[in-house]
Structure 1
Amino acid sequence: MNTIVLVIIIATCIISYMGMNNIGLFEKYKFNVAAIESRKEYFRLVSSAFLHADFMHLFFNMLSLYFFQGVVFYFLGNIGFLIIYFGSMILGNLFSLMIYKNQPWYSAIGASGAVSGIIFAAIAMAPKEIEVNFLPGWIFGTLYFGYSVYMMLNPKQWDNLGHSAHLGGAFFGLVYSIVMHPQLALSNWYFLGVMSLPLIYLAYQIFVKKKIR
Structure 2
Amino acid sequence: MQTWILIGLTVIVSWIAFERPRLMDRLTLWPPAIARKHEYDRLVTYGFVHADWMHLLFNMFTLYFFGPLAERFYGATLGPLAFPLFYLSAMVASILPTYLRHRNDARYRSLGASGAVSAVLFTFVLLNPWATIYVFVLPCPAIIFGVLYLGYSAWADRQGHGNVNHAAHFWGALYGVAFAIFAEPRLPAAFVERLLSPGS
Normalising by structure 1, report the TM-score. Answer: 0.76
Secondary structure (helix, strand or coil) at the match of 1:5 reads helix
Change (3 A) 1:143 1:50: farther
The CA distance in 2 between the partners of 1:80 and 1:53, in whole Å, is 28
Q: How many residues align?
A: 188
Note if 1:184 corresponds to 2:181: no
1:45–1:89 Cα contact (<8 Å) kept:
yes
2:150–2:173 Cα contact (<8 Å) kept:
no
Question: How big is the shift at 1:121?
Answer: 1.5
Q: How does 1:56-135 map to 2 (within 5 A)?
A: 56-77=54-75, 78-129=80-131, 131-132=133-134, 133=137, 134-135=139-140
Question: How big is the shift at 1:150?
Answer: 5.2
1:51–1:109 Cα contact (<8 Å) kept:
yes
Counterpart of 1:169 in structure 2 is 172
Question: How big is the shift at 1:90?
Answer: 0.9
Question: How big is the shift at 1:144?
Answer: 4.7
1:112–1:163 Cα contact (<8 Å) kept:
no
The CA distance in 1 between the partners of 2:19 and 2:45, in whole Å, is 16
The CA distance in 1 between the partners of 2:146 and 2:56, in whole Å, is 17
Note if 1:138 corresponds to 2:136: no
* Among candidates 11, 20, 23, match of residue 13 of structure 1: 11
Identity of aligned residues (%): 33
Counterpart of 1:202 in structure 2 is none
The CA distance in 2 between the partners of 1:142 and 1:74, in whole Å, is 24
Output the amino acid matched with 1:116: S
Q: Which segments of 5 or more consecutive residues in structure 2 lack a partner in the other structure?
A: 196-200
Output the amino acid matched with 1:5: T
